[in-house]
Amino acid sequence: MTTTQSLHLFLRALQGQNYSPKTLRAYGDDLSQFLAWVEQNRVDWDSPTRFARGDIEGFMQYLAAKRLTGVTRVRKLAAIRKFFAFLEENSILAANPAHTVKGARREEKEPTILYKEQYKALLFEASDNIRDYAIIQTFLQTGIRLSELVSLRVEEVDLEHRNLTVRQGKGKKDRQIPLVDDVLKALRNYLRYRNTQLILDDDTFFLAKNGTSLNVSTVKYLVAKYVKKAGIRKRVSVHTLRHTFGAHKADKHMSLATLQELMGHKKKETTLKYIHLAKTNLRAEMVQTAL
């Protein structure tokens, strides 16, 4: 079996194990990059039995030279390890050459969050656009991920019972998020507006101007646009709004278990970072807004 055939077999196995399309793309992209690098350096790259530890270490050094972050390099190494472990388990390889390769050190970076005056300014700038305002309110008041927002269906937004359902979020687990007054009002206004527009996709909740479902790049663009208009100078992404939700809920003493459930975290340790953010970043707001 060739290396190319082995990669296709590995990705099909992941699909059979119910991995999400996003995860499959990530594995495919990382492994394709690795194999393309090996192909440039070895003529026998398409034989999986020819791979050695030096190939993986050489690729890691290549990534370091390109100044990729430690987090990115760790992710790519994890994909390579899983690929070779699969080949070993299926007797395509005698041993996993990536097993003893050490990963890069992860950078300890605190996630960026918005202070109250910043997210209020962001909402103010978006207030003239019913759809965009509802999108930003949804991010800030529910903490859902970008992929979850663009996948949101009409039947999953229950305005009568003040509830939003995230279907098959990260980790393949559905979760329920109660809707507070501000986001409830924004979603009601958007739904009324939506019903007056061209609709080509009946099921998707947030629609593009042409009546089809929104794509990820459009949402990233609109958030960046309002960040600039609001005069926010820190680096802000869509994920910043999710971090903001988590940190402010922790600052208001929401229980760790509840916050973990709302944000859809598989591990408690992931949620714990918001407790730390609440004790550091939000305290800085007192200094910045001092009289």
Q: How far apart are CA 151 and CA 174, in angstroms?
A: 13
242 labelled catalytic? yes
- How many CB atoms neighbour CB 35 within 10 A? 21
239 labelled catalytic? yes
- How many CB atoms neighbour CB 149 within 10 A? 21
As a whole number of Å, the CA-based R_g of the chain is 22
Please pick, among 81, 170, 225, 273, the residue that the annotation labels catalytic.
170
Q: How far apart are CA 145 and CA 135, in angstroms?
A: 11
Please pick, among 73, 76, 131, 145, the residue that the annotation labels catalytic.
145
Region at 5 (left for phi over 0; alpha for psi -120 to 50; beta for the rest): alpha
Please pick, among 75, 242, 243, 249, the residue that the annotation labels catalytic.
242
170 labelled catalytic? yes
Q: Taking the CA of residue 279 as centre, how many other CA atoms within 13 Å lie in the half-sphere pointing to its CB?
A: 5
At 191, list the tokens: 């739904």
- CA-based nearest residue to 119, from 218, 231, 206: 231
265 labelled catalytic? yes
Alpha-helix residue ranges (DSSP H) falling in the chain: 3-16, 21-41, 53-65, 70-89, 116-126, 130-142, 146-150, 181-194, 216-229, 238-251, 256-263, 268-288
Instruction: Give the catalytic positions in this structure.
Output: 145, 170, 239, 242, 265, 274
